[in-house]
Amino acid sequence: MTRGLMIRQMNVTRGKTPIVHDVTLHLQPGLLVSCIGPNGAGKSTLLGALAGSFAATGKITWNGTALTPSMIGHMPQQCRVDADLTALQVLLLGQHETLGLRIKNSQMDAAGEMLQSLDIMALANRPMTSLSGGQQQLVLLGQRLIRKPKLLLLDEATSALDMAHQMRVMQLIRDYVQKNDALAIMAIHDLNLAARYSDEIVLMHAGRLEAKGPFADAMTEERLERVYGMRAILLPDIAGAPVIVPLHPLASPTSSIAA
């Protein structure tokens, strides 16, 4: 049995356009994996296809068997709530499969712990519609986590967060996957955040898998130039982790947004 997520020869078409081409990928449980790549590279399409939102060909398994919706926590890009619910109610709804007419103490406790770990306890009784973009993002992330999915698919889930909350969330997700033998795949544009917190990266380019592995092995200055269309240098930070220092975009873009 292959442990974790196995994707074999996945192809995804949206409308009539082939977007993701022939992706074969094996990711172990217990890892935080950043899915990176320039605008239009196919990150959201890959995550959406894994979540079952887009039809895909190929074979996808978790620990050797087919993925089921209850195993997946998918947070699409720019996810928002316009319903008249409080942050606490949204977190409780994350447990809807087990929520009866009476909310159990254990369910309230789980919601309270999640609010605490996301540093949003003060927002518990605030209506979602009154929250800022970043505050909503934290609540919606908590709603996914509280269901304890095996496969977390997070599409730019830290894009509206300040730096301290970004670090808190990345650490929380790392702890979550390790504790629950789960896998998180996060589409993310902040390469330095990805470098610091990811166990591995998946680099997409024009709908294809360009590279996979630990950031320090998979990311090179040549790839930053060819895939992202920018000149940059890679330096070690004080702990030895790679940091990207962007210098300038190339005169003629090579990234997939220009395709």
Contacts with ligand ATP by CB under 6 A lie at: 14-15, 17, 19, 37, 39-45, 77, 187
For residue 242, list its beta bridge partners: 236
Q: How far is the CB of 156 from ligand ATP (least distance, A)?
A: 7
Q: How far is the CB of 9 from ligand ATP (least distance, A)?
A: 18
DSSP state of 16: T
Distance CA 90, CA 187 (A): 23
Q: Which is nearer to ligand ATP, 2 or 57 (CB)?
A: 57
Q: Which is nearer to ligand ATP, 235 or 257 (CB)?
A: 257
Q: How far is the CB of 55 from ligand ATP (least distance, A)?
A: 12
Distance CA 195, CA 182 (A): 20
Distance CA 61, CA 178 (A): 20
Q: Which is nearer to ligand ATP, 31 or 41 (CB)?
A: 41
Dihedral sign for Cα atoms in the order 167, 168, 170, 174 = positive
Rounded to 5 degrees, what are φ and ψ at 127? -65, 140
Q: How far is the CB of 84 from ligand ATP (least distance, A)?
A: 29
Whether the CB-CB separation of 154 and 142 falls below 8 Å is answered with no
| CA distances, 6 to each of 50, 107, 162, 193 (Å) | 11, 32, 34, 25
Distance CA 139, CA 7 (A): 30
Q: Which is nearer to ligand ATP, 43 or 165 (CB)?
A: 43
Q: Which is nearer to ligand ATP, 20 or 88 (CB)?
A: 20
Q: Which is nearer to ligand ATP, 39 or 132 (CB)?
A: 39
Q: How far is the CB of 258 from ligand ATP (least distance, A)?
A: 10
Distance CA 156, CA 189 (A): 7
Distance CA 48, CA 10 (A): 12
Q: What letters, b where the CB count within 10 A reaches 16 and e where it falls short, cover 199-218? A: bbbbbbbbbebbbbeebeeb
Q: How far is the CB of 176 from ligand ATP (least distance, A)?
A: 23
Q: How far is the CB of 87 from ligand ATP (least distance, A)?
A: 26
Q: Which is nearer to ligand ATP, 17 or 125 (CB)?
A: 17
